[in-house]
Amino acid sequence: MTASMIDLERRRLLKLAAGLATLAALPVSGLAAGSPLRAATPYGLPQVILARALQHEGLAEWFGERELRAWRDPDQLRAWVAGGEVQLTATPTNVAANLYNRGVEVGLLNVNVWGTLGVLAERGPLAGIEDLAGRHIGVPWRGDMPDLVLRYLLGRLGMEVGKDLRITYHASPFETVQMFLARRLDVVVLPEPMRSSTRLQAVGLGLAPLELDLQEEWARLTGEPAALPQAGVICRRELLEAHPEGVRALQTAVAEAVAWTLANPAEAGRLGAAHSPLSAEVVEAAVRRTRLEMRDAPAARPDLERFLGALAELSPGFIGGGLPDAGFYLDLSS
Amino acid sequence: MSLVLIDAARGRPWPLLAYAFRPFFLLAAAYAPLALLPWVGGMLHRVSLPMGMPLMAWHGHEMLFGFVLAALAGFLLTAVPSWAGVAPIAGRRLAGLVALWLAGRVTVWLSGSLPALVVAGINLAFVAVLLAWALPALLRGEGRRHLSLGGLLLLYGLSQLAFYLAWLGWLPGRLGMLAILNLAANLLLVMIAVSVTRIVRVVAMAALKESGRAGPQRLTPAREHLAVAVLCLFVVADLLAPGHPVTGWVALAAAAAQADRLSEWPWGRAMGRLYLLLLTLAYVWLTLGLALVGLTALLESWPAYAGRHALFVGAIGTAVLAVFCIAGLRHTGRPLLLPRAIWPALGCLVLGGALRVGVPLAWPQHYLLLGMLAPALLWLAAFWLYLLGYARYLVTARPDGLPG
């Protein structure tokens, strides 16, 4: 895969994360003493978690104005992070590894999203991945995380794309969703919150879509836990060097935000809706269907390496070459 | 109320309440796009209202038992007096009926917070009043010739009752709310086919005369009856076994019978007359929709709803606009010269129907925006353009000074 192709894949991935929305920059605290903190996030649960975390009062001691931007353009994000315009960002783990492997001075703080992928089917049976045989499946973007997880699981079962089932990729996830709602696809593979949004839309259209959790399928077919390290928070190294205590406070704030989101799905829905084009109902449903668990980077490393390693076998460009080295995992305990 | 509603100078009811088509056409046209708001808004995650029933059922209810029922009330309350020689409902009684329809809309919009029985009761009261007035009139004298429409209205009312029973979970058997809405819409198709028999001769003759062609247009009653009979057969088959291949073949037979009927209509310069074109396009949609329903039942690759959109948006939408336009002129004592705004209105309706039907088949990846949002906006434009052309006629007295 050429560098430009990798760029294309990454751009598509980031667009998925950012959805259809326009760039949004929202100050989450007033002016205060301390240096400003500029963070970025895709829409969905990472935004809810970071928006909540940045409101944490424990941060006031270290940071002044806190700003949370929503991603719009992947090149813009890379420019933000590489140029220091953004110091902290929530991101899918493969994008984080990609940035690191491409020499951007970032490190992983934590992984907090461990299960967001699901299958929606217009009709049954849908007891397992085997039931996808003979169906027409829509997947947003070839080589993206939903695609690679699906293809990995199909591979475990010895099912062949093109022979046992048909996969169609689209130029945007919104197209995949519309094809499914128009009943021109039997099945779609989507991450949250798109998965909940599509399910609710399908119910509105009088359909009763069936769901299959891909994390559970992963556990069934690999014998590993039903927890896939899919998204977390990265920060620029200079932020950690300048404010090690501040970054520790940030880590605590993210942990508390994850716990709060899990305990208050309805309020989390309202918070997500206030900062994005998603409805509160969708964000709340996404919270209830996502496995959220705060693990700091060193603790997440074994699972992350196993997960990214498995997917990179299908597409090395997915993480920008190879597994990131130890420098990627920020250890705040030292 | 009477002080407001009586035109003191002439001692007649206020023009808006002089005949039933006036308030009901006005309100139905204004409401047609509003009833789409929660549906399209909900689909795009832009509007989220607490509704007491599934979004699609709410949408179907409001289109059929809100918008179309108002149009139907306006049409029947205006036509039955001339068919059966009974006094029309006007003035205060008409105001009461309009208020009952409006109360129905309010209750359905608040269905998330009102008891279901209140919503059902108020909405059923409207159709019950309509039936209680129309059926006796159609059972005597000249009215009997039009009894079939009364019978269809009765079935329509019963399907509305069945809808509420299904909503409340009181309906035995396997019929769900959506299947009942399908039945109600199919009954409207039969009403269109039956009504067209009454209208098309007059309209075709007028169009031929205006376009300079002399001579009568021959329309064979047997072919007309065949078209209606096969359509009725389809309605029964669609109720008993929707999507079944046999129903598919019956739908294709019904489409063929409608096409046969259409072939007798004046397809020449006369078709340039907007009133004939409106009626014809409604019938073309009916034919096309039946053919698509038939094909989708026989072919796996097309979604089953494609034909329904042609029938509901295309045939019913255009038929309602045709009735609005033709009755709106005839009963306000004006020549059959449709206002210019109706040309773009019809264009919007045709394009909206084409997108609603065609996008899921040809460009399903643009379903929500091109297949739902754009047709909804075109639907809005069509009916509000009608209001632009006709609102003045509907709220002012007849130019010839006659009552009504």
Look up the domain containing A167 and give its range.
117-222
Strands A187-191 and A136-140: parallel
- The three-state (H, E, C) secondary structure of B71-97, written as one string: HHHHHHHHHHHHHHCCCCCCHHHHHHH
Establish if A334 belongs to a structural domain. Answer: no
Residues A143 and A130 reside in one and the same domain: yes
Establish if A203 belongs to a structural domain. Answer: yes
* DSSP conformation class of B169: T
The number of CA neighbours under 13 Å toward the Cβ of A248 is 9
- CA-based R_g, chain B, Å: 21
List the single residue in B359, B365, B371 with the smallest CB-CB distance to A170: B365
Residues A110 and A121 reside in one and the same domain: no
Residues A40 and A186 reside in one and the same domain: no
- Put simply, the answer to whether A203 touches B54 (Cβ < 8 Å) is yes
Residues A204 and A254 reside in one and the same domain: no
Burial category of B246 from C-beta neighbours within 10 Å (exposed 0-12, middle 13-18, buried 19 and up): exposed
- Put simply, the answer to whether A184 touches B303 (Cβ < 8 Å) is yes
Can you name the residues that pair with A121 across neighbouring β-strands?
A: A187, A210
Domain boundary among A171, A193, A222: A222
Task: Answer for the pair B143, B99: CB distance below 8 angstroms, yes or no.
Answer: no
Average pLDDT for chain A? 88
Residue B135: what pLDDT? 95
Residues of A in contact with B54 (CB under 8 A): 203-204, 206
Domain boundary among A187, A206, A222: A222
Residues A105 and A130 reside in one and the same domain: no
The domain that holds A277 is classified in CATH as 3.40.190.10
Can you name the residues that pair with A40 across neighbouring β-strands?
A: A69, A89
Residues A58 and A129 reside in one and the same domain: no
Residues A151 and A255 reside in one and the same domain: no
Establish if A212 belongs to a structural domain. Answer: yes
Domain boundary among A222, A257, A276: A222
Residue B216: what pLDDT? 66
List the single residue in B43, B359, B364 with the smallest CB-CB distance to A204: B43
Establish if A169 belongs to a structural domain. Answer: yes
Residues A105 and A239 reside in one and the same domain: yes
Establish if A181 belongs to a structural domain. Answer: yes
Residues of B in contact with A181 (CB under 8 A): 43, 367-368
Report the gap between the CA of A327 and the closest CA in chain B (Å). 42
Count of CB atoms situated within 10 Å of the CB of B390: 24
- Put simply, the answer to whether A204 touches B42 (Cβ < 8 Å) is yes
Residue-wise pLDDT tens digits, B346-363: 999 999 999 999 999 999
- Put simply, the answer to whether A279 touches B45 (Cβ < 8 Å) is yes
Residue-wise pLDDT tens digits, A224-245: 999 999 999 999 999 999 999 9
- Put simply, the answer to whether A205 touches B43 (Cβ < 8 Å) is yes
Establish if A333 belongs to a structural domain. Answer: no
Residues A290 and A166 reside in one and the same domain: no
* DSSP conformation class of B176: -
Task: Answer for the pair B196, B323: CB distance below 8 angstroms, yes or no.
Answer: no
Which of B44, B356, B367, B370 to substitute to test the interface with A, most A CBs within 10 Å?
B367
Residues A20 and A61 reside in one and the same domain: yes
pLDDT at A21 over 70: no
Residues A139 and A90 reside in one and the same domain: no
Residues A311 and A264 reside in one and the same domain: yes
Per DSSP, the residues of B215-275 read SPPP--HHHHHHHHHHHHHHHHHHHHSTT-HHHHHHHHHHHHHHHHHHTTS--SGGGGSHH
Q: How confident is the model at residue A12 (pLDDT cuts 50, 70, 90)?
A: very low
CA-wise closest residue to B127 among B78, B180, B176, B70: B70
Secondary structure percentages of chain A, helix, strand, coil, to 5: 50, 20, 30
Per DSSP, the residues of B8-62 read TTTTEE-GGGSSTHHHHHHHHHHHHHHTTHHHHHHHTTS-----SS-HHHHHHHI
Q: At what angle do helices B317-330 and B342-362 cross, to 10 degrees?
A: 170
Report the gap between the CA of A182 and the closest CA in chain B (Å). 6
Q: Give the count of domains, chain A.
A: 2
ipTM over 0.90: no
Establish if A157 belongs to a structural domain. Answer: yes
List the single residue in A175, A178, A278 with the smallest CB-CB distance to B45: A278
pLDDT in tens, chain B (404 residues): 333 444 444 556 688 898 999 999 999 999 999 999 999 988 887 777 788 898 999 999 999 999 999 999 999 999 999 888 899 999 999 999 999 999 999 999 999 999 999 999 999 999 999 999 999 999 988 888 999 999 999 999 999 999 999 999 998 888 899 999 999 999 999 999 999 988 888 888 888 888 887 666 788 999 999 999 999 999 999 999 999 999 999 999 999 999 999 999 988 888 989 999 999 999 999 999 999 999 999 998 889 899 999 999 999 999 999 999 998 888 888 888 889 999 999 999 999 999 999 999 999 999 999 999 999 999 999 999 999 999 999 998 888 878 77
Q: Which of A111-115, A182-186, B151-155, B393-397 has the lowest mean pLDDT?
A: B393-397
Taking the model in full, what pTM does it have?
0.86
Establish if A286 belongs to a structural domain. Answer: yes
